[in-house]
Structure 1
Amino acid sequence: MVAIKAHEAERTLARLDPAWRLILIYGPDAGLVSERAGTLARTSVDDPNDAFQLIRMDGDAIAADPLKLADEANTIGLFGGRRAIRVSPTSKPLLAAVEPLLAAPSQDAIVIVEAGDLQRTNPLRTACEKAKTALAVPCYGDAARDLGSIIDEMVRAAGKSIDRTSREHLAGLLGGDRQTSRREIEKLLLYVGAEPAIRDEHIDAIVGDTAQREQAMLVDAVFAGKLPVLDLAQAKLSSEGLDPGVMLGAVLRQALSLLKARQSIDAGRGLRDVVGTMRLPYPRIATTEAALNAWSSAKLSEAVGLLGNAILTTRQNTDMGRAVATRTLWTLARLARSGRPE
């Protein structure tokens, strides 16, 4: 079996075994999947700008006609040399297209397949992990160590410096998606301009707390009953590799906070007075006041129960985590809109 751990990906791709002719790069971090696939494709050919050496194929088109991939992989290049085929992500099944190449690998081309977050039981992932001629590479959200390496690389390339404290501060503000993190660092470098060193004041002025901002957007959307916003926030957080249980936990903390505040209001304290004691950032004051006006203590108690059960379910059955989280968050958002349980 050729399956590796996420932390082994960089080292393995840098020293690729020639026997591996099909590389499946998958995971919730779409930016990292794309970056690794692009790097591997470029280094697998002599001239990445030559369309006869580096062939890009649409995943949807291959899913519709599975034989296209094998036909292209077995085509002999007119001018010889190394060839690479890069297949874009698709939500449609690709197993039928990949199986012929696992049974009879191309000797002329390396095939690189990009995919989203594939569960352990996904047929495509399982087939590639079992094949001796394929490699399955998982891509999850950047850990602090990975972010530190990206920061060092980009800062050094820009001819600037950053001390350890500021580096850790910056890493703490970046999200889990590789491309989003790079864009944030690029904005920071532009902002710093001609100054030789990056300091905390530069970071605070220009780098948004991407992960926390999107998490706050999801939480507020749930209690405001804004289903389109909820869908968008959940999709962004999922693409960054945020665990469904973590999303539910953030909503549960807010539900408990709102319940405590609502009970104080029920006991006779004023809404503004209660919200003032919560020490909220300014943009969230209005959304919290609106939530407290819309949600009763009974409804919030029900929400706490629903979220507690959902979190327990995600821990007991990780494969169902995303589906459970989606169903629970939609139920709460509808409860916010209708005022009665679904």
Structure 2
Amino acid sequence: MKIETRQVERFLADPGRTRFVLIYGPDSSLVAERGRGLARRIAGSLDDPFRIAELDADQAERLPEEASAQAFGGGRRVVLLRDAADKQVPFIESALETRGDSLVIAMGGDLAARSKLRAFAEKHAEAAAIACYPPDGAARGPALEAALRDAGVALSRDAIAVAAGRLGGETGALRDAAERLILYAGTERKLDLADIDAVLDDQGSASMQDAIDAALAGDVKAADHAVGLALDEGAAPVAILRVLLGELSALRLLADAVAKGASARDAVAARRPPVFFRRQAAVIKAAGRWREPAIIAAIERALRAEADCKRTGAVPEAICRQTLLGLAQRASKIRQ
């Protein structure tokens, strides 16, 4: 069963007797939030070893055993599978053939439409699939404004537009920015453009954005210089990759507009919220170079890089830098 966007919250509140839920998509923070939230709702806690088991993808052969186990003391058991992909489908099928009533929750990345795992979750009678996509450009500003309003903090209209343009694409990045702004507001409860500069340009975020813009525009030298500055200024490699994923998602929308006949300049001018004026030249250049197949390949590359950064013994700074420079080199070879 494919859960539509408008039905997601209702389903997560009560999944009924569904035995397998796939939660996937490019918004990894929202995937984790929904997956762990559902697990907590069913098991009552993420720390009870008698009610919940967490498995990595390479431990998927244990799914049938864990799914058939009974929860000590009663209640429904949860099996949480991380980094799920097509290779785990046979083990998931075996788990659903057991007699237990455990709920298996699989958290995956940006699975393609032809993914076997997606197809299984959407078609199986006891399964459900939930896609998690970052808020699009037009939604980031209103979402940030709503989060601040709920906390009693007002933000000027100009500041909203600028803040939205600096946010990473993921839900987690938006919420993190909102929390930082709320703390910064203190007792004043009102923020303006200067406050946005003070809060959202720290920890290498300006150099981070410069590096991403330069990479997508095909400027290898500028991308190398800016990513070096960002890392030196304290930007986390995973944070850079997640902002990159957000920009690639936004670039898909621009590429779609260009494919339908708009010029790169007109497509960027129509983007909402508007692109910050200092970034417009680079974004227009990127919009003129990238097309959807190449963007999808770039998204997959960035997702792999993020996963690689989290592996034992990895050097995240090198992985991040290689990813950006690889994209910059690819963009530099695309004819406009």
What TM-score, normalized to structure 2? 0.65
Q: Which residue of 2 aligns with 1:61?
A: 59
User: Alpha carbons of 1:166 and 1:103: their partners in 2 closer, same or farther (altered >3 Å)?
Assistant: farther
1:1-342 → structure 2 map (5 Å cutoff): 2-16=1-15, 18-62=16-60, 66=61, 68-90=62-84, 93-104=87-98, 106-107=100-101, 109-143=102-136, 144-145=138-139, 148-149=142-143, 152-153=146-147, 156=150, 159-162=151-154, 165=157, 168-169=160-161, 170-171=163-164, 173-208=166-201, 216-221=210-215, 223-225=218-220, 236-238=243-245, 242=249, 245-246=252-253, 281=278, 307=289, 311=291, 314=292, 322-323=296-297, 333=329
Mapped to 1, the partners of 2:164 and 2:332 lie a distance apart of 35
User: Would the aligned equivalents of 2:168 and 2:243 in 1 still touch at CA under 8 Å?
Assistant: no
1:205: how far off?
2.8
Question: Who wins on radius of gyration, i.e. which is larger?
Answer: 1
1:220: how far off?
1.6
Q: For residue 116 of structure 2, what is the amino acid of its counterpart? A: P
Structure 1, gaps ≥5 residues long: 251-255, 258-278, 288-299
- Number of equivalences: 281
Query: Helix, strand or coil: the match of 1:4?
Result: coil
Mapped to 2, the partners of 1:333 and 1:160 lie a distance apart of 46
User: Alpha carbons of 1:245 and 1:204: their partners in 2 closer, same or farther (altered >3 Å)?
Assistant: same
Query: Helix, strand or coil: the match of 1:89?
Result: strand
Query: Helix, strand or coil: the match of 2:296?
Result: helix
Mapped to 1, the partners of 2:207 and 2:330 lie a distance apart of 23
User: Would the aligned equivalents of 1:142 and 1:178 in 2 still touch at CA under 8 Å?
Assistant: yes
Query: Helix, strand or coil: the match of 2:133?
Result: coil
Q: For residue 55 of structure 1, what is the amino acid of its counterpart? A: A
Structure 2, gaps ≥5 residues long: 229-236, 258-263, 266-275, 302-324
User: Alpha carbons of 1:57 and 1:179: their partners in 2 closer, same or farther (altered >3 Å)?
Assistant: same
User: Alpha carbons of 1:336 and 1:161: their partners in 2 closer, same or farther (altered >3 Å)?
Assistant: closer
User: Alpha carbons of 1:336 and 1:77: their partners in 2 closer, same or farther (altered >3 Å)?
Assistant: closer
Q: Which residue of 2 aligns with 1:271?
A: none
Q: Which portions of structure 1, spanning 4 or more consecutive aligned residues, are displaced by more than 4 angstroms?
A: 144-147, 170-173, 208-216, 226-236, 246-250, 324-327, 329-332, 334-337
Deviates more, 1:237-246 or 1:84-93: 237-246
1:28: how far off?
0.6
User: Alpha carbons of 1:23 and 1:211: their partners in 2 closer, same or farther (altered >3 Å)?
Assistant: farther
Query: Helix, strand or coil: the match of 2:83?
Result: coil
Quote the RMSD (CA, aligned, Å).
4.7
1:165: how far off?
3.7
Mapped to 2, the partners of 1:70 and 1:249 lie a distance apart of 43
User: Alpha carbons of 1:211 and 1:237: their partners in 2 closer, same or farther (altered >3 Å)?
Assistant: farther
Mapped to 2, the partners of 1:19 and 1:5 lie a distance apart of 18
Query: Helix, strand or coil: the match of 1:242?
Result: helix
User: Would the aligned equivalents of 2:55 and 2:81 in 1 still touch at CA under 8 Å?
Assistant: yes
